[in-house]
Structures are given as C-alpha cells and as structure tokens.
C-alpha cells in the first residue's frame, strides 16, 4: 500500500536503475547485475500497489496495468540477464521517469534555515487546480474552492440539494505521470539535444493542455452529477454504495482513462516522428508483449535525421 515504505521502495528501485545506467559504459557486468536487480524490485513495487489501485482507488485500468507490470518487469529482467542489451535503453528511461516523478510524490513540506519550503506536490496540485478553476468558471460554473484535508487549496465544493460534493485535484490529476514517462523516454535515447528538445516541445504542452480539459470535464460532470447513468450497475462494477459517485466513476475511471490511452498512443506517434531513436524502446516493449521482433523504422517509414 502507498506510504512511507512504498516511497522508500520506489526510491531504492529507481536509484538502482540509475546506478545501472551510470555504470553501463564502465562495467557492463556490474551494470547488468544492478539493472536486473532493479527490474525485480520494480516487480515487487507494482505488486504492492495492485490492492490500492483496484480496491482503494477503484481504478480497474490502473489496477490491471499494475498487475500486468509484475510479470512484465520480471520478464524484462530475465531477458536483460540473457543478453538483450537493447533493454538497457528502456532501463535508463525508467530511471529518468522516476527521478522526475518521485520528488513530487515523496518530498514533504519542510523548513530550511527558517524558510518554509512547500511540498512540490502541493504546489503543482494548486497550480493545476487554479487553472482548472479558470476553465470551469469560463464554462459558466462557479463552485467554491476550499482547502483539502492536507491543507492544499485544490478542492472544488459543489452542492446537490443539501448534499456536499467535493472534487480534489490530486497529483494523479496534474499530468505529471505522463509527462515523466515521455521525458524519461526522450532522455534515455542517444540523439542530438536539439531533436530531444523538439520532441519534448511536442509532448509536454499537449499532455498538459489535454489534462486540464480532463480535470475540467471530471469536475463539472461529477460536481453537477451529469452522468448518473446505470447507477446500480456502475456501483456494482466499482464496489461502491454511494450513488453520488457514479458520475465520477463514469467520467474519470471509464471515459477519461480509456481516452488517455488513445491520446498517449497518438502523442507517441508524433514524438517518434521527431525522435525515431525511440523505436528501440517501443520495439522492446512490443517484444515483451508479443514475443515477436519488429522493425518499426521500416514499417513506419522513419528515417533518423543527422541532427
């Protein structure tokens, strides 16, 4: 379950990935040992998250993906141990993703030399909540913004009659996870910095803008209870007894998460057109899933620029 031990495990795994990545050019044997160990640790990390995503967070998409990640991580480590060296690139990507994401997830607020330093996650959540509020207001809805239980100004308050409905912008609602994925992938490949920056300039603005549309959609749909469809069936599907949650389950857990998969595939295609070196990672992922080798550069008609 998420908490201090989960955060410590995440840092341990990511730092092990980083050690493997940094030592690859100096001591390949040590790098292989370290990176395989990191993939085993990654499997353990995803395994302990499955109950949280499936039963607490009530996200079947994330729960299933977490469960699939367990054997996938072990298999990746097995292939790397067996000599599939191209997986070092994917391993570097995971290291970079974690280094970008984990500070926001794990670093709390603290005081340094008398100066209060806010939690990075709180700052990011409040920024996204403020921008979401602008869009919600622009569409003619004016919920009150209140403090969350953690003290962040990131929560919308609606009323359905006398019933309070709150929508909280949490870290998962900021788009940071998807941005970290693409930033990690782009950082991991060997390509000229100019093209890497162009690839980032494609991925990050699109992800951030579409995420704001997503948070706006969910906030309005749940806050105004616009999607109270198939109430009994949805409550049974998500194991809930609160009928007010139906609009949230449909807007977020079903519509938004399924559309996110489609959007990420589209962004991947755009980024790969700019940075064809990424096909190495994609080919490895496809091999993990299907067991077949692919030559995406030829199949997609990609050509690696010189600069």
Catalytic pick among 32, 92, 195, 214: 214
* Diameter of the chain measured on Cα atoms: 66
Catalytic annotation present for 194: no
Rounded to whole angstroms, the Cα distance separating 246 from 102 reads 31
Q: Are the C-beta atoms of residues 57 and 7 closer than 8 Å to each other? A: no
Contacts of 303 (CB under 8 A, 6+ apart): 276, 297
**Whole-angstrom distance, CA of residue 248 vs CA of residue 156:** 14
| Secondary structure (H, E, C), the chain | CCCHHHHHHHHHHHHHHHHHHHHCCCCHHHHHHHHHHHHHHHHHHHHHHHHHHHHHCCCHHHHHHHHHHHHHHHHHHHHHHCCCCCHHHHHHHHHHHHHHHHHHHHCCCEEECCEEECCHHHHHHHHHHHHHHHHHHHCCCCCEEECCCCCCCCEEEEEECCEEEEEECCHHHCCHHHHHHHHHHHHHCCCCHHHHHHHHHHHHHHHHHHHHHHHHHHHHHHHCCCCCCCHHHHHHHHCCCCHHHHHHHHHHHHHHHHHHHHHHHHHHHHHHHHCHHHHHHHHHHHHHHHCCCCCHHHHCCCCCCCC
Q: Is residue 214 flagged as an active site residue? A: yes
Of the residues 121, 173, 195, 253, which is catalytic? 173
Rg (C-alpha) for the chain, rounded Å, is: 21
* Catalytically annotated residues: 173, 214
């Amino acid at each position: 379950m998420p908490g201090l031990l989960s955060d410590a495990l995440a840092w341990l795994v990511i730092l092990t990935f980083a050690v493997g990545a940094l030592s690859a050019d100096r001591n390949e044997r040590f790098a292989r040992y370290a990176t395989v160990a990191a993939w085993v640790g990654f499997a353990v990390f995803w395994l302990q998250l499955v109950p949280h995503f499936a039963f607490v967070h009530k996200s079947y998409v994330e729960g299933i993906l977490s469960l699939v990640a367990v054997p996938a991580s072990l298999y990746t480590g097995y292939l790397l141990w067996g000599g599939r060296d191209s997986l070092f690139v994917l391993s570097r990507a995971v290291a970079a993703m974690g280094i970008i994401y984990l500070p926001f997830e794990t670093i709390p607020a603290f005081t340094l030399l008398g100066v209060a330093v806010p939690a990075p996650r709180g700052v990011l959540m409040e920024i996204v909540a403020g921008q979401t509020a602008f869009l919600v207001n622009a569409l003619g809805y004016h919920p009150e913004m209140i403090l969350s239980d953690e003290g962040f100004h990131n929560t919308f308050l609606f009323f359905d009659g006398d019933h309070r409905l709150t929508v909280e912008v949490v870290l998962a609602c900021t788009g940071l996870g998807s941005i970290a994925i693409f930033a990690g992938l782009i950082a991991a490949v060997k390509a000229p910095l100019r093209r890497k920056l162009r690839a980032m300039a494609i991925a990050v603005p699109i992800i951030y803008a579409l995420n704001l549309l997503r948070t706006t959609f969910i906030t309005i749909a749940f806050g105004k209870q616009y999607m109270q469809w198939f109430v009994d069936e949805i409550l049974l599907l998500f194991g809930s007894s609160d009928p007010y949650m139906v609009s949230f389950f449909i807007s977020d857990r079903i519509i938004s998460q399924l559309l996110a998969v489609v959007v990420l595939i589209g962004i991947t295609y755009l980024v790969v057109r700019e940075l064809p070196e990424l096909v190495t990672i994609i080919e490895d992922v496809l091999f993990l899933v299907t067991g077949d080798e692919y030559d995406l550069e030829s199949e997609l008609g990609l050509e690696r620029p010189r600069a």
